[in-house]
């Protein structure tokens, strides 16, 4: 795959001609709803095998080959040029595809209410071919250790049809929010724990879950050791039943990081007992906070590098958002919450208001500003092909186990094409 960023004067025809593809292929790959109205700064994925590289000032055949991990002799042969030739700036060179490491890919899916909407079920059908795990969110723990189940509808059948596993997500949500009081009961009361583990095992076996995933957030800091002990107990019980166990971890950068979200999550303890963990590396930019990238790569890297001091890389799934936010300015703490938008919606907003998309190279994230019909200023941060490729590059650089998406239901077609282009996804028939 190739990523092309739209510049002033670009048209779908000119872009297709540059890369030797068709306009229809570009429209289908990027799900373009207004192909004749491209936005300056919009990132498009070009559906080709391998990619093209356009020679820049100072490039040599050797430096380009080194950049893409092939020999300069092979690069010259593929492009039918002498190995000692001088490269003209702007010359198009073909770069063959490299090897694709195998990873785990998980995605949470969150039905709202008592049923699964048709749109959400369609999202599951569309994207489970790219997944190792489909994770309905969530089974909520009650104070007596019983479970309140989410609607599953056809999720099991969808997973089976796509050689994917079903992940059982267990949370301490009460009335839509994580409950510190409920979490404390679960990790400290043995009777509740025993009943909970019995219910988890019975449900997992009845439904066909493969992995049990604990997402206990905002636990009291003093329950850090109790939570770790509970996980060790759970792992022993679940492994006896042939079930894997994973956990979700708040995005910490040190063992001593303070804050209600962080203190009860012991990276070392989770890494020791879990089969794998999901680092929730998103929500730096969040609906109630000031405008900024949701998952800036510099901050994400800090979390991963700390995690690697506590556990091996092959236990880490990088958390990744499939959404962005539209903030109304000026930002006021406690004021109006930002509106969640999909990457496709963000591009449509930029097109509607005729503003270019900019790119923050430190955060590796796109953003733009616009003024609405009521004269209010807005700032939008979201994900695009460039920002997601930066995360894929980090996974490959650090040898991580895979990626976990929050959450299905928001359109981001470039992500799925690039995921398939960068990695081989572990499936039931090849794991």
CA distance 21 to 133: 33
Which structure tokens are listed for 271? 């890494």
CA distance 383 to 122: 22
DSSP H or E stretch at residue 173: strand 173-174
Antiparallel, parallel or unpaired: β 339-341 and 358-360: unpaired
Residue 291 CB-half CA count within 13 A: 21
What is the full DSSP assignment across 81-101? --TTPPPPTT-EEEE------
Which structure tokens are listed for 227? 């939570």
Question: Would you say 407 and 322 are in contact if contact means Cβ atoms under 8 Å apart?
Answer: yes
Report which DSSP code applies to 142: P
Within the chain, what is the greatest distance between any pair of CA atoms?
76
Whether omega before 407 lies within 30 degrees of 0, making that bond cis, reads yes
- 31, 157, 217, 258: which is the annotated catalytic residue? 217
CA distance 31 to 277: 33
**What is the length of the chain?**
431
Q: Is 383 a catalytic residue?
A: no
Find where tokens 């089969």 sit. 275
CA distance 196 to 145: 4
Annotated active-site positions, please? 217
């Amino acid at each position: 795959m190739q990523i092309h960023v739209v510049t002033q004067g670009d048209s779908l025809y000119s872009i297709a001609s540059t890369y030797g593809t068709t306009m229809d292929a570009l429209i289908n790959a990027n799900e373009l709803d207004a192909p004749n109205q491209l936005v300056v700064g919009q990132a498009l994925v070009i559906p080709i095998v391998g990619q093209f590289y356009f020679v820049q000032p100072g490039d040599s055949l050797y430096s380009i080959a080194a950049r893409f991990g092939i020999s300069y002799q092979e690069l010259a042969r593929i492009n039918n040029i002498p190995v000692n030739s001088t490269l003209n700036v702007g010359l198009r060179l073909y770069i063959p595809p490299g090897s694709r490491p195998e990873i785990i890919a998980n995605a949470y899916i969150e039905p709202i209410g008592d049923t699964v909407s048709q749109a959400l079920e369609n999202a599951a059908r569309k994207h489970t071919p790219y997944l190792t795990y489909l994770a309905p969110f969530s089974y909520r723990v009650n104070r007596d250790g019983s479970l309140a189940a989410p609607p599953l509808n056809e999720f099991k059948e969808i997973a089976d049809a796509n050689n994917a596993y079903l992940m059982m997500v267990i949370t301490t949500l009460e009335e839509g929010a994580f409950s510190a009081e409920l979490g404390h009961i679960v990790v400290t009361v043995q009777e509740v724990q025993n009943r909970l583990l019995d219910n988890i095992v019975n449900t997992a076996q009845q439904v066909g879950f493969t992995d049990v995933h604990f997402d206990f957030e905002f636990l009291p800091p003093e329950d850090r050791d109790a939570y770790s002990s509970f996980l060790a107990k759970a792992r022993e019980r679940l492994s006896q039943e042939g079930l894997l166990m994973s956990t979700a971890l708040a995005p910490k950068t040190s063992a001593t990081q303070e804050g209600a979200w962080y203190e009860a999550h012991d990276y070392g303890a989770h890494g020791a007992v879990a089969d794998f963990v999901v680092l929730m590396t998103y929500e730096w930019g969040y609906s109630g906070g000031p405008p900024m990238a949701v998952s800036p790569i510099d901050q994400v890297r800090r979390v991963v590098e700390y995690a690697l001091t506590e556990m091996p890389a092959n236990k880490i799934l990088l958390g990744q958002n499939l959404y962005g936010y539209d903030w109304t300015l000026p930002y006021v703490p406690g004021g109006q919450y930002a509106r969640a938008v999909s990457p496709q919606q963000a591009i449509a907003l930029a097109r509607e208001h005729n503003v270019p998309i900019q790119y923050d190279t430190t955060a590796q994230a796109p953003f733009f500003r616009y003024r609405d019909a009521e004269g209010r200023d807005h700032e939008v941060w979201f994900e695009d092909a460039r920002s997601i490729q930066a995360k894929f590059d980090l996974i490959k650089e650090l040898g991580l186990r895979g990626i976990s998406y929050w959450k299905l239901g928001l359109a981001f077609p470039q992500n799925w094409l690039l995921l398939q282009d960068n990695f081989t996804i572990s499936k039931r028939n090849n794991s």
